[in-house]
Amino acid sequence: MCGIVGYLGRRNAMPIVLEAIKQLEYRGYDSSGVAWHSDGKVLLHKKKGKVSSLEATSILDEIESNLAVAHTRWATHGTPSDVNAHPHTDATSSCAVVHNGIIENYESIRQMLMKRGIRFETETDSEVIPQLIGYLYKGNFLRAVQRALPLLQGAFAIAIIHKNHPGEIICVAKECPLAIGLGQNEMFIASDSHAFLKFTRRVIFLRGSELARVTENGVQCFDGRRLPISKETEDLEHAAVEISKGNFKHFMLKEIYEQPQTIQNAYLSRFSEQYGTAILDEISLSDEELLKIQRIVILACGSSYHVGLLAAYMLEEKARIPVEVEISSELRYKNPIVLDNTLVIAISQSGETADTLAAMRELKEKGAKIIGICNVQGSTLAREVDSCLFLRAGPEIGVATTKAFTSQLIVISLLTLRLARMRQMSQQEGRHYLQALIQLPQQLYSILARVNDIRELAKKFAHYENFFYLARRFMFPIALEGALKLKEIAYVNANGYPAGEMKHGPIALINPNCLSILLFPDQDEVTFTKMINNAMEIKARGGVIFAVAVEGTKDIEKIADALFFIPRTKDIFLPILSTVVVQLLAYFIADLRGAEVDQPRNLAKSVTVE
């Protein structure tokens, strides 16, 4: 999940790589560091903490070098510290490496090198990479790296520099993303092409076990067998975006407020109100192939998994297609069965989620057709699926997803409509579905207009240490998402449950010091009365209730200790409105508790390692 960058060219590399790793800090912020060429040497500077801690040291202001690599870290092996920060070097400080990923057999390599007299300085798995390359180096930099690669097991991306080769960077991508940006007599390397978009949109993506020797004049690429290969240059469509919080205290709050617009972006030009259907030109499957679908498998992790759960309710309810939702990290070890006419939907905001990519590849090998749902053009997922539906949400800086989550729900809603209209949904029903969908941005504005009400409720409940989120049917995945948000950014114990399961164990924990957050459907919906019964069971045991209910719902005031109303819409879209409420509640509780909202401890936004 770390971020790696590199630059070589005519300009001073230092300000360029420092700015680039700030763009990638969402991948990890335990520590950071930079390595550069200077008078025939490779020099390092690295620091525990965020990139700002690295920049605060005046030594970097005086450096002039036209080649550098830099790193921002999410710790896997070894505690966050100055010594464990990247870059790492070999025993003679001849080469330096920045690394994203995990070296699974690092201990056996470490033991082998130690027997040959090589001393290790860190607790990391990453240090074995430069130590191994340094041990194998006999004057040919490229050959030393190529000889080292077959000995390294795991998924990783690396960039390497050597004191004897001041005009080149060698980089490798093995099941981890790495992009090379091509400028005019200058080259850029990054885990995410967004880091160098202000300089160039021409890019080469490495994949598989590919290696590239990068100089300011060009790129030589090789496959895992050391054979030269030709790589196509892609021109990215999206432009660099200036990242700013504006007048907001945190990026997360800004991104919550952006949701009316990002939801609209997700559905614009993707529907026909006249025909009551979705128009998804990005899907390469023919209507005949879509009609043959008999089973859908959804792959996802984290918040995207909650999107998948809601997608299953939608698709089965409206399109009448059986759906299985799989946690990617579990499916990849299940030896899954892929029947004929199975469609796979892989959901990943970043498009680089390691477990989802691995599970997707396994199902693809078994013959499944795959549609991706992703926010990042040029991501690994976007390049490997058969078709990709982009969220159009723009960069999301807060680690805890907000606008990307609701945009995923909109895209899933459109896909549901497309498949449903091809089956049993009438044109009139499709029109009503779209009318409700199009009203969502304005309804979200009405919720955001009452943000002070949610802030006051957060003040009332911020001191609680235990939270239950309870819901049924369409609302249940939002109970899971609300609990996850609170865990992620406020660091408190929160659990989401189907309300009907409360009596099967969790009710034992109900007490006056535990807040139960109940997400109610419309009072005409089949599970409404059941939710009322659950609320009464909580009250009977001294529990405290915060209810999120639809405007016009009667009698909830008599049960709930606190209440927030959301606008009325179709049951299938109520979860989207409820999502914004639980996002705001988590945000304000976290802020009141003094937590680091945008960069919560131990987390990274893009999970590129298993």
What is the identity of the amino acid at 2?
C
Catalytic residues: 2, 605
**Numbers of helices and strands, H then E, in the chain:** 18, 27
Q: How far apart are CA 549 and CA 530, in angstroms?
A: 14
Residue-by-residue DSSP string for 434-448: HHHHHHHHHHHHHHH
Distance CA 402, CA 256 (A): 6
CA–CA separation, 516 vs 511, rounded Å?
10
Query: Which residues, at least 6 apart from 34, have a Cβ–Cβ distance to it below 8 Å?
Result: 14, 17, 18, 21, 44, 45, 46, 54, 60, 68, 69, 70, 71, 87
Tokens of 197: 């978009």
Residue 588 backbone phi and psi in degrees, to 5:
-70, -35
Pick from 323, 196, 33: which is nearest to 205 by CA?
196
Give the H or E element holding residue 203.
strand 202-206
CA distance 162 to 289: 52
Grouping H, G, I as helix, E, B as strand and the rest as coil, residue 596 is: coil
Tokens 């209730």 belong to 545
Which pairs count as long-range contacts for 41-45, CB under 8 Å and 24+ apart, including other chains? 41/93, 41/163, 42/89, 42/93, 42/94, 42/95, 42/96, 42/161, 42/162, 42/163, 44/87, 44/89, 44/96
